Amino acid sequence: MNEVPMNPYFTALCLACALGSVTVLAAGRAPMPAAKSVANLTLDLAWDLAEDLQPQIAEAKAMVEAAAGRVRQAGAFPNPEVVVGAQQLPLSGNQPNEQEYVAGVGQTIPLGRRLSRAREVELLEREVRARGLEVKMREIRRRVHSAFATALYQDRASQAQSDIQQSAARAVAVMQARVEAGDTVRDDLARVEMELTRAKVELQRAESLREQAFVGLASAIGDATLTVKSLAGSMEATFEIPALESLVANLAAQPESALAEADIRARLARVDLAQAERIPDLKVELLYHRLEANRAHTLDVGLSLPLPLFKRNQGRLREARAEAAAAEARSRMTHNELTARLHESYLQLTGALVSSRTLKTEILGQADTVLQAAEARYAAGDISLTEILPVRRDWAAVQLSYLESLRDLMQAWAAVSSLADLPEHRGSAPPNSLRSSSAITELDHK
């Protein structure tokens, strides 16, 4: 059987196609980049990451850039037109030579300051986009602040539950030793084992909520694949709350109010543009005319101006005026919403501050005193295990309640800060509000 010789160029082409297919398949199966992770995440770092990773901020910045492009285009003069033509071309050879050739340029000249009005509109639209970016960044900061407060609370609550679980485990070990020594009955051992099981369940729940809060924080930052390993910050801070009247008086200087005012100016500028567009554009033509019959050269000048008989831009003017009125209504609505939100957030902030201070100054210390007294009586044999267990639960509940109050305080502060120029809540020291179960630990060692 005779072999058919293959074309070397065809062979090279097939080999290149095969290699390209393998490359495409390999690229399609390329492993995804590993998810980023961060440890000891602070609130400041979370804000910095959100400015870089949050898609909503990237979108708002892109819209500002798009508005800047429209500003550059709005003031541009119309391009000139090239006119080339021929007239009275013969269709047969017996017709007289009366051809005419035309060549020239035409230029549209906008009248009525339409170009300057259009540029002013786009400049104001760019300002609206820029103000919208400020509003979006402040909203993202509020969301990150609130998510950070929740994550920090869940992290501290998980640590507290871990301490409680470890104390319960030590109590079981002590009780087992006492049962083996004959100092107590097995019923007491069963009770402390139940407390250990309860502590383990609560710890698992706290750890799950902690992971969920970390995922929520990563989502608020703008990258759900971001792995938050640990947080660094304090839930306690000194809050100096200004008077509500001063905050309300400062609402006009906030980005939301500035956005509403910029929108009104942009809509009013569109009314001026619609009025300027009622004047039609003037078109000027300058043409060179060649007459073949007598070999003459002529120059033609023409002006054309549309007559505004049927279309006088009345609809556009009516639309612009209605949109300006709507912008003014939105501005009033924005002011009303900001005022209502500020009042609500201010009440939440003051309530959370009172609750946190009350727990810290009046309840935490008393809870420690009650627990230490009960542990001393239990060590002396004056009360039974059944009586000491509720005291321990109450002490743990007070600690968690205080953490919850600090979380609510941070979230309320974030809400008020998003509506007023307040100093941001920051902290880098570890929390010193949650005391470890020292009284229980002392008893375990006894």
Dist. CA 139–CA 422, nearest whole Å: 14
Amino acid at 243: A
User: pLDDT in tens for each of the 446 residues of the chain?
Assistant: 444 444 444 444 444 444 444 443 444 444 434 348 899 999 899 999 999 999 999 999 999 999 999 998 887 888 899 989 888 777 776 667 778 888 999 998 888 788 889 999 999 999 999 999 999 999 999 899 889 989 999 999 899 889 888 888 888 888 888 788 877 778 878 888 888 898 899 999 999 999 999 999 999 999 989 999 999 888 776 566 778 787 888 888 888 999 999 999 999 999 998 888 888 888 999 998 888 778 888 888 988 888 888 878 888 899 999 999 999 999 999 999 999 988 998 899 889 888 988 998 889 899 999 989 988 888 777 887 778 888 888 998 998 999 888 889 888 888 888 887 665 554 433 333 334 333 333 334 33
- Say if 379 falls within a structural domain: yes
Domain, as residue range, for 296: 77-88+96-114+141-256+278-445
Dist. CA 444–CA 446, nearest whole Å: 5
Q: What integer pLDDT is reported at residue 378 of this predicted model? A: 80
Dist. CA 371–CA 392, nearest whole Å: 7
* Per-residue tokens: 211: 């992971």
- Say if 217 falls within a structural domain: yes
- Say if 53 falls within a structural domain: no
Q: Which helix (H) or strand (E) holds 84?
A: strand 81-87
- Say if 20 falls within a structural domain: no
Q: What are phi and psi of 232, to 5 degrees?
A: -130, 120
- Say if 294 falls within a structural domain: yes
Spell out a b/e string for 221-258, using b for 16 or more CB atoms within 10 Å of the CB, else e. Answer: bbbeebebeebebbbbbebeeeebeebbeebeebbbbb
- Say if 61 falls within a structural domain: no
Which pTM value belongs to this model?
A: 0.74
Dist. CA 446–CA 437, nearest whole Å: 15
- Say if 312 falls within a structural domain: yes
Dist. CA 285–CA 104, nearest whole Å: 7
Q: Which helix (H) or strand (E) holds 260?
A: helix 255-276
Contact 296, 242 (CB under 8 A): no
Contact 234, 93 (CB under 8 A): no
CATH number of the domain enclosing 104: 1.20.1600.10
Question: Going by C-beta distance under 8 Å and a sequence separation of 6 or more, which residues neighbour residue 71?
Answer: 119, 122, 123, 125, 126
**Short-list 298, 295, 307, 300, CA closest to 285:** 300
Q: For the chain, what is the domain count? A: 1
- Say if 238 falls within a structural domain: yes
**Short-list 50, 145, 161, 221, CA closest to 409:** 145
